[in-house]
Amino acid sequence: NAGVTQTPKFRVLKTGQSMTLLCAQDMNHEYMYWYRQDPGMGLRLIHYSVGEGTTAKGEVPDGYNVSRLKKQNFLLGLESAAPSQTSVYFCASSPRVPDVLHFGNGTRLTVT
Amino acid sequence: RKEVEQDPGPFNVPEGATVAFNCTYSNSASQSFFWYRQDCRKEPKLLMSVYSSGNEDGRFTAQLNRASQYISLLIRDSKLSDSATYLCVVDSSGYALNFGKGTSLLVTP
């Protein structure tokens, strides 16, 4: 079982560039989440989805957009990257709430 | 006030020692509690759920004190492989879980 797969694993962007992070899960989970993790800040929720076609803002949504067109995929977009978005991004899914989160391996993004 | 607070450590302990971490949470309506473990540059992984009656899994024991709004994790007979960051996680009465910033543990030979 692949579980939760994130692509890419690493990326370097220049300020102002755009990119999309892809999260795919094969566990048929309803709920999916995007977190960012920065040194000394812990995991902070960016956006989440409670089912196909739904999205909602988390704690730090500014500068990001998301889409959940298919149940198994949750995309995180950066329209105009800023150095403050340099971080490690984790996608997670769960079958119900509240319940255990299953995390992907993370995407390490650097914005120069 | 942050919803979930942990002592960041680091806790440096010798092999074989017993170490305890505490975590406090602010939302009295929270119902679900977890401890996750995160190794350096890896994703968080569930260590154990925390039940009202407390629970034990081998060398690990988790306790919940609803009245004081804190949960604890006790590790007995520490191993080198226990070195990691331990994350306290509490549900937010919504659709998401709130993570503490983590407590760093280093077990030394």
pLDDT reported for residue B94: 73
Q: How do residues A64-82 score in pLDDT, each as one tens digit?
A: 999 999 999 999 999 999 9
Query: pLDDT grade, residue B92 (50/70/90)?
Result: confident
Q: Is A5 exposed, middle or buried (0-12, 13-18, 19+ CB in 10 A)?
A: middle
- A42 vs B101: CB contact, 8 Å cut-off? yes
Element (H, E) at B106: strand B103-108
Number of alpha carbons in the 13 Å side-chain half-sphere of residue A91: 28
- B99 vs A56: CB contact, 8 Å cut-off? no
Q: Is a pLDDT exceeding 90 seen at residue A2? A: no
Mean pLDDT of chain B: 93
Of the candidates A37, A65, A64, the one whose C-alpha atom is nearest the C-alpha of residue B99 is: A37
Q: Is a pLDDT exceeding 90 seen at residue A98? A: no
Q: What is the mean pLDDT of residues A12-34?
A: 97
Q: What is the mean pLDDT of residues A46-58?
A: 95
Q: How far is CA A1 from the centre of its chain?
A: 20
Interface of chain B against chain A, CB under 8 Å?
A: 8, 31-32, 34, 41-46, 49, 87, 89, 91, 94-97, 99-102
Q: Is a pLDDT exceeding 80 seen at residue A18? A: yes
Q: How do residues B49-88 score in pLDDT, each as one tens digit?
A: 998 888 999 999 999 999 999 999 999 999 999 999 999 9
Token pair, residue A21, equals 């992070």
- A98 vs B87: CB contact, 8 Å cut-off? no
Helical H segments across A49-108, by residue range = none
- B95 vs A101: CB contact, 8 Å cut-off? no
Q: Is a pLDDT exceeding 80 seen at residue B20? A: yes
Q: Which residue has the higher pLDDT, A99 or A1?
A: A99
pLDDT reported for residue A73: 97
Q: Is a pLDDT exceeding 70 seen at residue A1? A: no
- B71/B77 Cα distance (integer angstroms): 20
CA distances from A106 to A33, A47, B83 (A): 12, 15, 20
In sequence order, the β-bridge partners of residue A23 are A6, A74
- B8/A39 Cα distance (integer angstroms): 11
- A97 vs B87: CB contact, 8 Å cut-off? no
CA distances from B26 to A44, A107, B37, B68 (A): 17, 30, 22, 10
Q: Which residue in A97, A105, A108 has the most chain B C-beta atoms within 10 A of its own C-beta, making it the best mutation to test that interface?
A: A97
Q: What is the mean pLDDT of residues B4-26?
A: 94
Of the candidates B48, B6, B49, B44, the one whose C-alpha atom is nearest the C-alpha of residue B24 is: B6
Mean pLDDT of chain A: 95
